[in-house]
Structure 1
Amino acid sequence: MGKTWLIIGSFRGLGPAIAEAVLEAGNDLVATVRRTVHAVFAGRANVVNGPLQYG
């Protein structure tokens, strides 16, 4: 069973590199970005645009 990772700030810097490694290892990924989804997620993720819903 794989792990589920949460990466906050996955648009630039170390975020995309870590996200890519997580996906390549076959793990699940929950990632947040403030801008359009980075190419590392293209075709490999369910994307939800908009603010997080609480409650």
Structure 2
Amino acid sequence: MLNIKKHQDNDSNVSVNADDSIAKVKKLKELLDIGAITKEEFENKKKDILGL
């Protein structure tokens, strides 16, 4: 029996994760702009999303 291992391209995974993070930060910025969250909440959540 032939064992075929599925290979994932790490570069594409990083790209997808970066795109997802950018979309989340943009959504947070919209919430900040309309006054739904404070600047402090925005900064804290942004750091969480970006892993800082």
With the shorter chain as reference, the TM-score category is 0.3 to 0.5
> Looking at CA atoms only, which structure, 1 or 2, has the larger radius of gyration?
2
**Could you tell me the TM-score, scaled by structure 2's length?**
0.36
Which structure carries more strand by proportion? 1
Say which structure is richer in helix.
2
